[in-house]
Amino acid sequence: MVRLGQNFLADPNLLDAILRDAALDPTDVVLEVGAGEGVLTERLADAAAQVHVVEIDRGLEEALAPVAARPNVDLHWEDAMKLDFAALDPAPTAMVANLPYSVATPVILRTIEQLPSVMRWTVMVQREIADRLQADPGSRTYGSPSVLAQLACEVRMVRSVDPAVFKPRPRVESAILGLRRTGPAADPATRDLVRAAFAHRRKSLARSLEHARPGSLVSARAALRELGLPENVRAEALSPEEFAALSAKLHPEG
C-alpha cells in the first residue's frame, strides 16, 4: 500500500543496513519523518534512547499502534512541513528516515536549520535529490539546496537502492544519503541570498539578485569584485564558502 506519496520499505536486509549506516549510540535521540508501517521505527527504538516519529497519515494508526506503545517512542501526528522541530523534547541528535519523496529536500533543510542538536542524517531519498544535495559547483544539479545543505554539513551518497525493496515499487531510483554536521545552518540573510541567486539561472548572479532586490546590482557586483570573482559570474560557479563570503560582504552587520 502507498499513502500520501510514500513507498514503504519491505526488505529487512536494507533496514538492517540503514541501522548500520546510522551508527546510532544508545544515548541518541532519533527523529524519523514518515513512519509508514513502523518497520524502521521498531529497529530505531531498539537502538536508541528515544525516537520522535512524525507521521501525517492517520490511516496508519492501527499499523503503528504496537510501536507507538513503546515507552521510548513519541509519535507525533503532524505535517513535517508545519511541525516546529525545535520544540521536540528531548532534542534529536540524529535523523534516520525513509523520507516521503515529495517533501524530502525541504524537510532535510528545515531540520538542518531548526535542529542544531542533530549531528548526522541517514535518510532514504529519491536518487535525484541525493545527486542534487551532494552536487559540486558548476554541475547541472548544483543549486540552492546543494549550497544550503553543504554550508552546514558534509554530504555523501551512502548507497544506491534497488526499487524492488519498496512496496509498491516506485518509478524512480532511490539512494541513502548521509549528512554530517560541520557547522551551523546558514543565517536568514544567507539563505535569502542563495535562493535569490539561483532564481534566474540563465542570468548572472548579480542580475538574478537585482530581480529579487531592485537596486542591488551595483553593490552585488562590487562585492563580487572584492572577492576576486567576475562581475558576471553565475550562481552555479560559486562554492558554498564563496556564498557565505558574499553574504558577509553584502550584510556586514551580520
- Residue written as grid cell 546510532: 24
Instruction: Report how far apart, in Å, the C-alpha atoms of 206 and of each of 141, 187, 203, 235, 250 are.
Output: 20, 20, 8, 9, 12
What does the alpha-carbon distance between residue 89 and residue 79 come to, in Å, rounded to a whole number? 17
If you average pLDDT over every residue of the chain, what do you get?
93
Determine contact, residues 81/103, Cβ cutoff 8 Å.
yes
pLDDT tens track for 85-119: 999 999 999 999 999 889 999 999 999 999 999 99
Residue 7's pLDDT band, with cuts at 50, 70 and 90, is low
pLDDT at residue number 3? 41
pLDDT in tens, 161-214: 887 777 777 778 899 999 999 999 999 999 999 999 999 999 999 999 999 999
> Which cell goes with 197?
541567486
Q: Which residues contact 193 (CB under 8 A, 6 or more apart)?
A: 209, 243, 246, 247, 250, 251
Average pLDDT over residues 224-233: 98
Of the candidates 134, 129, 142, 70, the residue with the CA atom closest to the CA atom of residue 98: 129
Q: Which CATH superfamily is domain 188-250 in?
A: rRNA adenine dimethylase, C-terminal domain (1.10.8.100)
Question: Given this model, what pLDDT does residue 6 score?
Answer: 60
> pLDDT band at residue 216, thresholds of 50, 70 and 90?
very high
The one-character DSSP state at 122 is: E
pLDDT exceeds 60 at position 4: no
Number of Cβ within a 10 Å radius of residue 251: 15
pTM of the model: 0.92
Domain covering 8-181 in this structure, CATH number: 3.40.50.150
226: pLDDT strictly greater than 50: yes
Tens of pLDDT along 61-83? Answer: 999 999 999 999 999 999 999 99
Domain extents in the chain:
8-181, 188-250
pLDDT mean over 33-52: 96
